[in-house]
Chain A
Amino acid sequence: MKTRRQFHKVAAATAASLVAPAILGNRVFAQDKPIRIGASVSLTGPLASTKNGLIGYELWRDDVNAAGGLLGRKVELVTYDDQSSAANVPAIYSKLVDVDACDVLFSPYGANLSAPVMPFIKQRDLFMVGMFGLAGNDVAKHDKFFHSGPWGPNSGRDWARGFFDLAKAQGVKKIAIINADLEFSKNAAKGGAEVAKEYGMEIVFNQSYPPNTSDFSAMIRNINAGDPDAIFIASYPADSTAIIRGVKEIGISDKVKLFGGAMIGPQYGALLSSLGPELNGLVNSHTFVPEPTMQTPAIKGFFDRYTPIAVKQGVDPLGYYIPPFYYVAGQIAAAAITGSKSVDPKKMAAFLHANAVDTIAGKIAFNEIGDWKERRVLMVQLRGIKGNDLEQFRSPGRQVILDPPSLKTGDLAAPYNKARAS
């Protein structure tokens, strides 16, 4: 170095050559790092039967990554077991956002577990896809929340409206309503009572019962004393079984035209196979059944891959109720990211509010609080079930779609006692 100035030039050049790659390299690294999708899943605890949804997430992730990822970046799932406890949910989502730096969030399963996370995502202005939380965003009204489930608008009141439409068409004047003392069932019964009143039906019996009630004989006798034309039931799997068996044991009036509505359980393989023919005649809600109006190559392809994994993992081998909509959640997130070319919650939400999304469950358009614009809850009647073989439920004609009219595959068989005996 002849002069101090020359020395400074060389030093500056050396420093720049050392620092520049690091800066540029970081920029490249930021673009290459995976897009992280965070969720809590109920792997244990009373809601563990919903863990087959994880297969839906994983199939979607694998498909996206096989196709090159999103915006050229791989997709990574970050999931934690919430143990079916709402108390664990806030801490899990804080970690997903602040420690794991997830770009997109999927909610926990259902309204009970989702409720604690709604204030958090609203306050932090985060993007979230909701998983089966009935009326999950009706209070928070967060504009970056989108439902993967087909509950439709005003879901707290209207999601089971199909049952009451069928009842109205049958000339039902008197209705009985029973529900479990749990969030989903209470909402369903409250909404059902409002719709029944709107249709001019007299509610002759309206009662709730505690979770895990095993004997419904007293309730069934009291319902019979009210002499209803239809019975709307919002129950959980164990009580659904006890109610159906109770009706068989105690008997029910021949006047009853419709029985069921919002019973959780008969959507799952375990209950379908254990109750078998006892389910005949039941009219109940569902999200997917293998009827001709719903079978598309995309959904068929999904179940072709789901079934062997489910069998291997020992979860519901049918998986009609939840897993396809966990895959749909991924498709909603993917559409938002690719459509907005960003992982910015504001841009992603704006895209979904402006554009419908193609999914394996059909085309979905969202309203301002992320509900599907069109309710697509099915009311199906179980029929022709013989024995306890689960495979029969893969055939059309066992779960006939009565509502919505656009997907209808048959007419209601009534009264319930006659349909039950068929």
Chain B
Amino acid sequence: MFSIDILLNAIVTGILLGSVYASLALGLAITFGILHIPNIAHPTLVVAGAFFVYTLAQWGLDPIVAAVIGLVPFYVLGLALYLFYSRVFERRGGANVLQSLTLFFGLSLVVEILLVLSFGSELKSVNVSYIGSSLKFGALTVPYRLLIPALLGPVMIAAVWLYLSRTNSGTAIRAVAHEERALSIAGLDPAAVKRHAFGIATATAVVAGAALIMIGPVEPFGGRFQIGRVFAIVVLAGMGSIPGNLVIAIVIGVAEALVASYLNPSWSPGVAFAILLLGLAFRPQGLFGAAR
């Protein structure tokens, strides 16, 4: 059945979902896209962020405020994780992709079990006044449950992009992925730069976690359902392209919403990968990535 109302609502819902996907993928865009570290534990760290937000929300804090408070501890967590990763692999010269994948897969399992031990295996959610009501413009109905988390994505991506493109330390992060030795010659410690970048990537997980738990309840194993989609976004955007991350996430979100509205919602998990395959067929370096 076709109606302009359903089409309009599907497109808007897709844009909102896409913005949330962009938040989820941002950390991976930094670790995998810029640092080339295949941190498949990132979606699990997002879930950990959601539990952090849930904990503070129990004390009456708004999820967004809780996420802002969580930026520092998650940044420190990221520093610690990178320190461990570099001690185990990079300093021994053995940081190949397979070993890194194994490490981060193990890390995600450990985080999941820690969450189960700390919070139990039940679904956790937050209750705030704007969840359950909608903004209405004529035929358009926009649930605040989607709108508020969706706004976090562009704000966070803009902040990270400005930081990476307009500051010296941001430039150092982009440079370290290309030529570590040159960075050393310039008097900078590549390990410290990478550690800082990993910290930023992990800090984004708590904001993405706040978005996730505002949309719906989360459980410790929820990160597993996001891995495929976030990797598809990062790869298709082009390794390291932060604004491209947002564009591709929105394209995937809109495509999923249109498929759910007009074809069958069961097909929507395949949408991200179908777009990924098509995109890579035409531009192997990703749609917004520079050719290398």
> Which A residues lie at the B interface, using CB under 8 A?
44-46, 48-49, 51, 181, 207-215, 217-219, 221-222, 225, 237-238, 241-242, 245-246, 248-251, 265, 268-271, 274, 276, 278, 313-316, 388
A217 touches B219 (CB 8 A): no
A357–B122 Cα distance when bound, in Å, is 33
Find chain B residues with CB under 8 A from A269 CB.
Answer: 122
Distance in angstroms from A29 CB to nearest chain B CB is 39
Say which residue of B17, B113, B145, B219 sits within 8 Å of A46 (CB atoms): B219
Does B243 make an interface contact (CB < 8 A)? no
The CA-CA distance from A321 to B127 in the complex, in Å, is 24
Given B5, B134, B265, which contacts A209 in the complex, CB threshold below 8 Å? B265
Cβ of B40 to closest chain A Cβ, rounded Å: 17
Contacts of B266 in A (CB 8 A): 181, 207-210
User: Which of B17, B131, B221 has its CB near the most chain A CB atoms (within 10 A)?
Assistant: B221
Please give, as numbers and ranges, the residues of chain B lying within 8 Å of A49 by CB-CB distance.
121-123, 219
B133 within 8 A of A: yes
- B133 in contact with A218 (CB, 8 Å): no
Decide: B122 and A218 in contact? CB cutoff 8 A: no
Of the residues A208, A209, A274, contact of B125 by C-beta under 8 Å: A274
Q: Is A315 touching B120 in the complex (CB atoms < 8 A)?
A: yes
Q: In the complex, A292→B21 CA distance in Å? A: 47
A-B complex: 5 closest residue pairs judged by Cβ atoms = A48-B121, A209-B265, A270-B122, A249-B143, A314-B120
Closest-CB distance, A218 to chain B (whole angstroms): 4
> In the bound complex, what is the Cα–Cα distance between A217 and B145 (angstroms)?
11
Q: Cα distance A265–B123 when bound, in Å?
A: 9
**B13 within 8 A of partner (CB):** yes
Q: Contact: B131 with A218, CB < 8 Å?
A: no
Question: Are A208 and B145 within 8 A (Cβ)?
Answer: no
Q: Are A238 and B216 in contact (CB under 8 A)?
A: yes
Find A212's partner among B3, B119, B222 (CB 8 Å cutoff).
B222
**In the complex, what residues of A have CB within 8 A of residue B200's CB?**
none
Which of B6, B221, B269 is close to A218, meaning CB atoms less than 8 Å apart? B6
B204 in contact (CB, < 8 A): no
Complex-state Cα separation, A98 to B268, whole angstroms: 44
Which B residues are in CB contact (< 8 Å) with A250? 134, 141, 143
A209 touching B260, Cβ below 8 Å: yes
Q: Which of B5, B131, B268 contacts A221 (CB 8 A)?
A: B5
Whose C-beta in chain B lies nearest to the C-beta of A316?
A: B122
Tell whether, in the assembled complex, residue A238 and residue B127 are in contact, meaning their CB atoms are under 8 Å apart: no
**A210-B265, A215-B215, A237-B217 as given contacts; A44 in contact with B116, CB under 8 Å:** yes
What's the minimum C-beta distance from B93 to chain A, rounded to whole angstroms? 35
Distance A215 CA – B144 CA, assembled complex (angstroms): 12
A218–B260 Cα distance when bound, in Å, is 7
Whether A241 contacts B216 by the Cβ 8 Å rule is yes
B143 touches A208 (CB 8 A): no
Mask for B1-35, Cβ within 8 A of A = 1, else 0? 10101100110010001000000000000000000
- Is B99 at the interface (CB under 8 A from chain A)? no
The residue of chain B having its C-beta at the shortest distance from the C-beta of A42 within the complex is B121
- Whether A238 contacts B134 by the Cβ 8 Å rule is no
Q: Is A221 in contact with B113, judged by CB distance below 8 angstroms? A: no
- Fill in one digit per residue for B120-140: 1 if any A CB lies within 8 Å of its CB, else 0: 111111010001111000000
Tell whether A218 pairs with B125 under 8 Å between CB atoms, given A45-B221, A241-B216.
no
Residues of A within 8 A of B121 (CB): 44, 48-49, 51, 315
Bound CA span A48–B216, Å: 18
User: Nearest CB to that of A239 among chain B residues?
Assistant: B216
B217 touches A274 (CB 8 A): yes
Is the C-beta of B225 less than 8 angstroms from some C-beta in chain A? yes
Q: Is the CB of A217 within 8 A of B225?
A: no
Cβ contacts under 8 Å, A274 to chain B: 123-125, 127, 217
| Contact between A268 and B122, CB atoms less than 8 A apart | yes
The closest CB in chain A to the CB of B224 belongs to A46
In the complex, the answer to whether A222 meets B125 with C-beta atoms within 8 Å is no
Contacts of A181 in B (CB 8 A): 266
Contacts of B169 in A (CB 8 A): none
Selected A-B contacts with CB under 8 Å, 28 pairs: A46-B219, A48-B219, A48-B220, A181-B266, A208-B264, A208-B265, A210-B265, A214-B215, A215-B17, A215-B146, A215-B257, A217-B9, A218-B257, A222-B261, A238-B217, A238-B218, A238-B219, A242-B216, A245-B132, A249-B133, A249-B144, A265-B123, A270-B123, A274-B123, A313-B120, A315-B120, A315-B121, A316-B122
**Most A Cβ at <10 Å: residue of B10, B216, B269:** B216
Q: Which chain B positions have C-beta within 8 A of A212?
A: 222, 225
